[in-house]
Amino acid sequence: MIDIAVLGTVQTVVRSGLRTTPVGLSYLERSLMATLACTPGRVVSVGRLVEVLWEDAPPTGARTRVQGLVSSLRKRLAAAGGQSGTLATDPGGGYLLRVAPGCVDAERFRSLIHQASAQTERGTPGCAASTWQSALALWRGPAFDGLRSYLLQAEALRLEEMRMTALEHCLSADLHAGRHEHAIPELSRLSALHPGRERLVGQLMIALNAVDRHAEALGAYRALQLYLREQYGTSPGPRLRRIHELMLRAPVGDGELLAALTTA
């Protein structure tokens, strides 16, 4: 069986019983494998692979070079004990990755995200929090780390957005459970990295307010306000404004603030 990891540097491993064999790949081979791993079981055209590998400057004979890379990949996988047919040729042109469900970490990540969302909708937040955490544990670094293709980077951005949403859900579980002190360091770090992400800032404000750091909570709002005005010429949305208004009035409990963060 072959495992392909793209949530970090791209890695390919062949598993046989208790033995695992890493497959060493060149830069272009990793790029090709990563592209096929984005949509396992679906055909990727040669033209698409050429675009990923060389973008706007394909070499002479690029399509032939793709064939050579696929042949090289097959040999490397076979040498590591991989099954034949993993990299299949489509009769209509193009190639596809044939692996068992869950053999690509990004695929497992998406599946866990959908599972956690369903658990949240069913009203089982404890189960959902555990599933969000399982999804996040799959990440080893930026998706497709080290690969420069703008097409792969576009997919990396989509995966990163899903990762951030999962992080926000995990932190929300901490706040609902009263683990404010535990959540503050991570919320502070993430808010500094993503200063315009309103839900994160709102969560940080709620956590700080809960441990009597009211001035810092209001300061986080002012920092967001300034960032949005300078970067986009906009203001915080209605949820953040509502939280800010509640904090300015009088002591307010977590329940009301958390409700304001999740309702318009």
Distances (CA, A) of 67 to 12, 71, 152: 19, 6, 20
Q: Which pLDDT tens digit goes with each residue over 129-150?
A: 899 999 999 999 999 999 999 9
Specify the pTM.
Answer: 0.89
Q: How confident is the model at residue 254 (pLDDT cuts 50, 70, 90)?
A: low
Chain segment 1-23, per-residue pLDDT in tens? 899 999 999 999 998 777 889 99
* Polymer length in residues for the chain: 264
Q: Please give the average per-residue pLDDT across 91-116, as a whole number.
A: 94
Helices (H), the chain: 27-38, 46-54, 62-79, 105-121, 125-136, 150-176, 180-193, 198-210, 214-232, 238-249, 254-262
Alpha-carbon distance 238 to 180, whole Å?
Answer: 23
Which residue has tokens 């859900």?
169
Average pLDDT score, the chain: 92
Quick: pLDDT tens for 23-76. Answer: 999 999 999 999 999 999 999 999 999 999 999 889 999 999 999 999 999 999
- Round to whole Å and give the CA distance between 10 and 241: 42
Residue 263 has pLDDT above 60, yes or no: no
Q: What is the CA radius of gyration of the chain?
A: 23
% of the chain with per-residue pLDDT over 90? 77
Q: Of 108, 83, 86, which is closest to residue 95 (Cα–Cα)?
A: 86
Token pair for 71: 């042949």
In the chain, what are the domains?
2-97 (1.10.10.10), 178-262 (1.25.40.10)
DSSP 93: S
- In angstroms, the Cα distances linking 46 to 59, 101, 107, 143 are 14, 24, 22, 23
The predicted pLDDT at position 219 comes to: 97
Residue 61's region, left for phi above 0, alpha for psi from -120 to 50, else beta, is left
Q: Over range 80-105, report the average pLDDT.
A: 90
Cα(171)–Cα(41) distance, integer angstroms: 34
- Both tokens assigned to 225: 């306000």
pLDDT of residue 125: 81
Predicted confidence (pLDDT) at residue 264 exceeds the cutoff of 50? no
